Amino acid sequence: MIHRSLFAVGLVVATACSAEPQAAPSAAANAKPFAETVIADFDAPWAMTFMPDRRMLVTEKDGRLLLVTADGKSRATIATLPVDSAGQGGLMDVVPAPDFTTSKRVYLSWSEAGAGGKGVALARGVIEGAAGAEKLGQVEVLFRATPFVEGDGHYSGRIAFSPDGQFLFFTNGERQKFDPAQDPKATLGKVLRLTLDGKPAPGNPLAAKGFHPAVWSYGHRNLLGIAFDSAGNLWEQEMGPKGGDEVNLVQPGRNYGYPKVSNGDHYDGRPIPDHAPGDGFEAPKVSWNPVISPGGLMIYSGDLFPQWKGDAFIGGLSSKALVRVDINGTSASKGGQWDMGARIREVEQGPDGAIYVLEDGARGSQGRLIRLTPAR
């Protein structure tokens, strides 16, 4: 199974992107088939990933990159990155390079201020030093969203590597500006395909049509999860407007419609046409209304939960839920949804096949890392 980190794909953010009342799950849907063990407690975490030695890298909103032991009992700050942490901004994703075992290189994303406003940046660095005294060095910014605009929302910033390890996929949110998602010259509201050095990848499907050469797909809103399945299909989840959270099968060159179509409406009450057959836009495989406010995305490949192998797991923010999506080839449908009692920002698979969920620390969430194993 190929995932966004070595083992799995996979702000105290004021994510008021999908905030209408939630549908109450049924008692059967809410029965948890897993036991929960709290591993650690953070301040305002956004993402995590595992290294080959089972230690974890965790990002904090204020720019700190933490190296945490497998049992969660010890941690060290190995870098403090130059982030703009206002609103939904901060240090975002962290993913080991495909060759991490030899290179010790990791890729990160964060929001920053610059000419024209603010935007999301893609960077990489190398974990240097002896065990127990590591630091992140050789940090370099590889790519910046374009254009930078005013505001503090919808940065996105998720990272996934292609199954062959040759390309990097990077999500750029539309920054709550709507129209850039359809603007061919902007990277906002897009899935991008880059080389490992952060350059537009050769052969991207829309470059010859006048698009920014990094664009792989467009018409997206706030893309907060991206992952490959074992067949090499690329899946993405994003927050809709007032309603219409989505899971999409990302295909090269396709237009996913926002803001021209959506299964939700604008917050000011203006309607948006729903996806409809023949409208020329790629419809989501799954959508939610009422919303779940999706956080991270992971596609499960472990053995602890064999019944879920190949399924997608999504963190729910306003829904305070862990959400499962049943994937069958290139089709998908809603699976289980479990009340976690806190905003779930990230979902990862551990090297032991356990599922790890990370609270984001906002609105009553404690920022805990919780390990899920089969209920006995």
Residues classed as catalytic: 154
CA atoms of 64 and 57, how far apart (whole Å): 10
Question: Rounded CA gap, 170 and 95, in Å?
Answer: 11
